[in-house]
Structure 1
């Protein structure tokens, strides 16, 4: 139980820090991340990338999504699986994609199986996170969606490269990991790029 309380305490502290960022800071960090990501060799070679729409003070992915589209990449967004609770699907996203608000109050594409891409066909999977440490351990919101998504693809050469995107203020000394936590292969912040 103590580990669970520690994890929730970290979530609360880091969410306060990222919500305290000013709109000008958010804009600057979003542009910096976009520039950093677009020069990543794996991103430059990638054709199909999944990313998230920012929520609750997360790093604004808007400029990066625009840059990916401009570079001719196919962009996909996560959608809550309608029949398998706790799992994600990935749907193609463009300027004409009909959007809905899911039960977690996050915008996502309206379910359309013709726009669905199996995870194994993704080249890159950008993940949100609440906090991270210098071992690649990520702490999410607690739903386990990305841990379940990455469970079968973690460090496999035939799966997507998982890259976390975060503000620098989201780094903590250590995350008390649970057995189901899947560490990330890379994390990019406005000032650093970690690889494991």
Structure 2
């Protein structure tokens, strides 16, 4: 299936240019969210280097940001760059769980491959499988309790454009990395239960 970034821009802008006064814009450098000002009447989500995956990720962050934060550059957050220490990495992962769960849903809705992003190339080693397990469980909670309103609107728009199933199911989200890690732990100590294997995210309760 072809995934053209111009299609994605058109889908987003059709959904939100009027209702949210927000445009998705191809960027040439690092991604950034820019609120409207005297020069630009629209809020702008600028994604990196024309990459489809970057656009989905930035849209996911926008779907979570509240009304007041959407009036601030980059939603008023400071992002620790690559090279994070253990505490910075833990904080980074905590604020990335929900956006990446939404991004994963966007990918499934569009038939696009999802890659979890917890990389910290110049800092401490990152347990990508453990982080992906947390994102996976958040997906399950969203499937039970509902996605944020704008996220669900965009999911539906992607499904319609790419002619995908109208209802997301947990079996569309594959957790290969975490399964492999859990099996590896069991092989090292076959008498120990596989405590690291994630339970079904659909067994979790809804928290409002």
TM-score (normalizing by structure 1)? 0.29
Greater C-alpha Rg: 2
Quick one: higher RCO (CA 8 Å, sep 6+), 1 or 2? 1
- From the two aligned structures, give the one with the greater helix fraction: 2
- From the two aligned structures, give the one with the greater strand fraction: 1
TM-score (normalizing by structure 2)? 0.28
